[in-house]
Amino acid sequence: MYLVIAEKPSVSNSIAKVLGAYQKKDGYLEGRDCIVSWCLGHLAEYVSPDSYDERFSKWNYEDLPIIPDQWRLAVSKDKKEQFAVVKELLKRNDIAYVVNACDAGREGELIFKRVYDLSGSHMPVKRLWISSLEDSAIEKGFRELRPASEYENLANAAVCRAQADWLIGMNATRAFTTKYFKRLTVGRVQTPTLCMLVDRGNEIANFRKAKYFNVAIDLNGMKLEKQKIFDEADAEALLHMCQGNEAVIVKENSTDRIVKPPELYDLTTLQREANRHYGLTAQQTLNAAQSLYEQKLITYPRTDSQFLTEDMEDTAANVIRVVQSKYGLDNPFSDFPKPIIFQVMNNRKVSDHHAIIPTMELEKTDPHDLKVDEEKVLFLVSLRLLEATGEKHIFTETVVEASCGGETFSTKGKVIKHVGWKQFEEFAKDFAGSKAEQEKDTVLPKVKEGQRFSNVSADMSEHYTTPPKTYSEDTLLAAMETAGNKEFDENTEKKGLGTPATRANIIEKLVNSKYVVRKGKQLIATDDGKALIEVLPDFLKSASMTAEWENQLLDMEKGKIAPDQFMTGIKGMITMMLNGCDQIPEEDTYRFQQRESIGVCPVCGSLVYEGQKNFYCSNRECGFVLWKENRYLERMKKSIDSKLAAELLKSGQATVKDFYSYKKDKYFEADLVMEYKDGRVNFSMVFPDRNSSGRTKHK
């Protein structure tokens, strides 16, 4: 008997069907010789800091850095029942080994390892590594199970990535939040990404348009231009020199240009195209692609490769045939030989997973039955397979230059000789409402070098330079993919900010934290996002440093560096960050505060300001703080607002007319008295004395 653990129930069902595990149990499926269960995604996560020490429940700068000696995992409340099932299965004596069938990538490795480690199991582990959930792929994968030890480096990289994100997120967020008295969320990858958006916004805001002029001459209906003359007087002088004068053709050259077919999709290019054509966010595309994968309609989507392996010729040919039939297209192999498929095959450019392509399951599926986003993504993946295996696009480009008034004017013409793979772009426009435009010929009149044109007419037009474009998810994903590349050696394997599997989540975190807003397709940094980037040190928002960490994780996957080496660098960076925070001038730490005090500290006499959850003394050496929510007042449905806090600070007590008594189920009036003793605030109440004109104190 052996156990299989997958990432999700849907994947488990596909695997169980192939293995013959049809008997449904509570949290797993059982067959004659196997059991198939699942994790529900991340069953376990690293615990919060207060789980290591209760004092971390309050954010104090003096408690930093928080670096666990032994990392602890905890199961989320809504998944405890399934974890109990998996844990019990991992402890069974009648099971010989467990198969890690979580998604074949870094994150899948982490999901399985956390559950396995937390269960305390010592069961031998084998790894299922597949790129498709088709029955044939699952069968082949189980025939070729590998020892888990072969993926140890990948697991190490997964753990180090997660721990690095925790350390930087927890320490940097707490450090800058407590320093500036404002919630400032910092992330290893999201902060450099935000910085790119802020920088682009600043470039646009600081852009000053410049006027320039184009001067054109007309040679019997053929217009040639001299472009971007920034001095108006020079442009007017050239206009007058050309008007009515002679022009001579100094160059006429025609060259055949070849546009190679595009490569197949990896996840990032799929997300970019889905955003460009349909306006889908990166997360929406990933969600649709993951669903298509689980429905067996496309191969594994979280890939960074745009090629197939060289043993996939027959697979590709069969899938192309299905795509052609499903979408009503002509057979692309009718006019050229079969080896055209080899242009998308390269073993050296496929690491863990090959490019995203449809599967043969498409033959039995009506795309219109899918969800809208799924249908769109499936169409893009299908069409890209045809484009990538299509013929070259060839056109003839003609360049004509003429001399007039001592300057050279030019124009270009274009004639398509062979449409090739671009025939599918027009199909995409018709089928999917794409904005792709059909290429048109621009035929120039026949001219020869040395040919003269007399009495030339000329005109001048006015133009302005344009600012950089605001990032869309398409262009931001491209920028994330290449971020920091110029900092590395040519031979460095470059991966940029994040991975194809994580970039969508990074963008969503920025939007959810309100550091970025979506405006149509545009992604724009908010004022809070700009303010955060303004106060952070360069190394925390550096794309090149974060990209270098990603490269180190890749090296770890290949066994080139040890986990300790990577984590030492992360811890060193945290130390550098805290040293920098220590140097922040005190007056700068109040930059986010509205500097209107609500009173004077009863302990040291310094000004008291309002924070998000409390009223605090501006003197950092003083421990006075008045919390807005506290247990004493909570019993009477009362919290401290700025008006009440000001009265308490002024005279030590304040009359409150809306205390609530649960016992009597009514509101009552009393004086709230504040005392500061032994480093803490204590409250008591004074009630009106009904037998005299005085008042009675009540604890």
- In angstroms, rounded to a whole number, what is the distance separating the alpha carbons of residues 671 and 316? 81
Position 76 in a domain: yes
pLDDT at 333 over 80: no
Position 181 in a domain: yes
Mean pLDDT of 316-325: 92
pTM over 0.85: no
How many CB atoms lie under 10 A from the CB of residue 117? 13
Q: What percent of the chain has pLDDT over 90?
A: 70
Q: Is 609 a catalytic residue?
A: no
Question: What is the pLDDT, as a whole number, of residue 353?
Answer: 87
Question: Quick one: 17 and 134 in the same domain?
Answer: yes
Q: Which residue, among 122, 99, 100, has the nearest Cα to 109 in the 3D structure?
A: 100
Q: What are the CB-based long-range contacts (under 8 Å, 24+) for 150-155?
A: 151/100, 151/109, 151/127, 153/556, 153/557, 153/558, 153/559, 154/106, 154/109, 154/557, 155/109, 155/110, 155/113
**Helices and strands in the chain: count of H runs, count of E runs:** 19, 26
Question: Quick one: 186 and 222 in the same domain?
Answer: no
Q: Which among 391, 412, 444 is the end of a domain?
A: 391
- In angstroms, rounded to a whole number, what is the distance separating the alpha carbons of residues 501 and 224? 48
Question: Quick one: 532 and 478 in the same domain?
Answer: yes
Q: Which among 326, 360, 391 is the end of a domain?
A: 391
Question: Quick one: 445 and 532 in the same domain?
Answer: no
Mean pLDDT of 575-580: 96
The radius of gyration computed from the CA coordinates of the chain, to the nearest angstrom, equals 33
Structure tokens at 454: 């007399």
Question: Quick one: 304 and 189 in the same domain?
Answer: no
Using alpha carbons, list the distances in angstroms from residue 259 to 9, 188, 305, 384, 396: 44, 39, 21, 15, 11
When mean pLDDT is compared across 95-99, 355-359, 485-489, 498-502, the lowest value belongs to 485-489
The DSSP code sequence of 426-452 is: HHHHHHH---------BPPPP--TT-E
Position 157 in a domain: no
Q: Which among 561, 586, 611 is the end of a domain?
A: 586
Question: Quick one: 293 and 252 in the same domain?
Answer: no
Question: Quick one: 293 and 316 in the same domain?
Answer: yes
User: Where residue 329 falls among pLDDT bands split at 50, 70, 90?
Assistant: confident
Average pLDDT, the chain: 90
Question: What is the pLDDT, as a whole number, of residue 429?
Answer: 67
Question: Quick one: 296 and 253 in the same domain?
Answer: no
Question: Quick one: 215 and 181 in the same domain?
Answer: no
**Host domain of residue 199:** 162-205+473-586
Question: Quick one: 274 and 337 in the same domain?
Answer: yes
Position 192 in a domain: yes
Mean pLDDT of 309-319: 90
Mean pLDDT of 574-587: 92
Question: Quick one: 400 and 385 in the same domain?
Answer: no
Question: What is the pLDDT, as a whole number, of residue 331?
Answer: 56
Mean pLDDT of 66-87: 93
Position 580 in a domain: yes
CB 39 within 8 A of CB 82: yes
Position 455 in a domain: yes
Helix axes 543-557, 190-205, angle to 10 degrees: 150
H or E, element range at 418: strand 407-418
Q: What is the DSSP letter of 47?
A: P
Per-residue pLDDT reduced to its tens digit, 14-71: 999 999 999 999 999 999 999 999 998 888 999 999 999 999 999 999 999 999 999 9
Structure tokens at 254: 């025609």
How many domains are there within the chain? 5
Position 568 in a domain: yes
Q: What angle do CA 605, 611, 614 make, to 5 degrees?
A: 75
- 28, 300, 471, 609: the catalytic one is 300
Paired with 519 in beta bridges are 522
Q: What is the DSSP letter of 263?
A: P
Position 150 in a domain: no
- In angstroms, rounded to a whole number, what is the distance separating the alpha carbons of residues 32 and 541? 55
pLDDT at 2 over 80: yes
H or E, element range at 139: helix 135-143
Q: For residue 101, what is the domain's CATH number?
A: 3.40.50.140
Q: In what side-by-side order are the strands of the sheet with 625-627?
A: 599-600, 607-610, 614-617, 625-627
When mean pLDDT is compared across 540-544, 573-577, 599-603, 688-692, the lowest value belongs to 688-692
Question: Quick one: 408 and 368 in the same domain?
Answer: no
Which residue shows structure tokens 């799924």? 374
